[in-house]
Structure 1
């Protein structure tokens, strides 16, 4: 296959777009795996559907698997511990609060610490509050313990999900390079 300078330049742009998936898998509030299909669409715009469909299909499959990994990580952690359905929402709000630095400034912290401390605190507070309500009233001490464990499970699920998404980003980028340079 001979490339013109135009399609060769677009290939590099598409690869750079896909490389954005790597920091997005680790940094909260940044898009992650969505950059894989976006980069493939850039490439498809240059060479057409008939040549670029394998790259796009691979990127869409990996993006879908990344979404499933997120849902499973949070869902399985919550279901296993019999947490309320609100604990994941509390973790999401805690993530926003933690990353945006609305938690008190810690001398050893920052947005990365907030990305782990925020979801734990959010899930813990919500689960503690829900556990003290009827019909499964636990008492404050037991509810706080339950909330702490659920918060830790949510953070562990987030870590596993981020690792899986990082590996998927690497596979997607390598797959794009291998398939598009055939």
Structure 2
């Protein structure tokens, strides 16, 4: 059975797809800004490339800016504190464990609390372990202090990146609405 889609129906579908970017910007494990260009592709399918190229281009640029905000937020926080390259990996593992409630310290927190404390705990453990070993050979207390500071910086970077991506998602949705009625 072939259901005919009108351009209006596909506009609403494209908008709905782009609205999926909002939850993804708040929870890092969900796809976020990638939904902006996907919605743009739906709109291209409805009205053609000549009519919808600008909406798609804006969505791609905003998606790229979101990727840059992730790299900058985590990179600058880690670089400023001279963190090891493994702290971001530890934060990533902690994020997955925290969001899915697999951290024993967070059985009551839920995904949002896990998304905050998981990366901190992961970066803390990894950074403490790395700074305890040569060449840095810090004592346990100093390594634990360095690990907790790096963990906080990683979480702060994640929060800044999430806010930037939420802003970019809202901007992308507003731009799609405004540009599609030109």
Whether TM-score is above 0.5 comes out as yes
Extract structure 1 runs of 4+ deviating beyond 4 A.
105-108
Whole-angstrom distance in 2 between the partners of 1:136 and 1:74: 22
Q: Which residue of 2 aligns with 1:39?
A: 39
| Per-residue deviation, 1:136 | 1.1
1:48 positional shift: 0.8
* Structure 2 residue aligned with 1:156: 156
Q: Specify the alignment match of 1:92 in structure 2.
A: 92
The answer to whether structure 1 residue 9 and structure 2 residue 9 are counterparts is yes
Alpha-carbon distance between aligned partners in 2 of 1:140 and 1:105, rounded to the nearest angstrom = 21
Q: Which residue number in structure 2 is paired with residue 72 of structure 1?
A: 72
Matches within 5 A, 1:19-168: 19-104=19-104, 106=106, 109-168=109-168
| Preserved CA contact (<8 Å) 1:120 1:154 | yes
In the alignment of these two chains, the number of paired residues is 179
**Residue 105 of structure 1: CA displacement?**
6.3
Distance between the aligned counterparts of 1:61 and 1:28, measured in 2?
A: 20
**Preserved contact between residue 123 and residue 147 of structure 1 (Cα < 8 Å):** yes
2: distance between equivalents of 1:156 and 1:105? 20
Backbone CA RMSD of aligned residues: 1.4
Distance in 2 (CA, whole Å) between partners of 1:172 and 1:112 is 24
Write the distance in 2 (CA, Å) between the matches of 1:51 and 1:106: 50
Partner deviation per Cα, 1:133-172 (whole Å, 9 max, x = no partner): 1111111110000000000000000000000000000000
Report the alpha carbon displacement of residue 11 of structure 1 after superposing the two structures with TM.
0.4
TM-score (ref. length: structure 2): 0.95
Distance 2:102 2:80 in 1: 30
User: Which sections of structure 1, spanning at least 5 residues, go unmatched?
Assistant: none
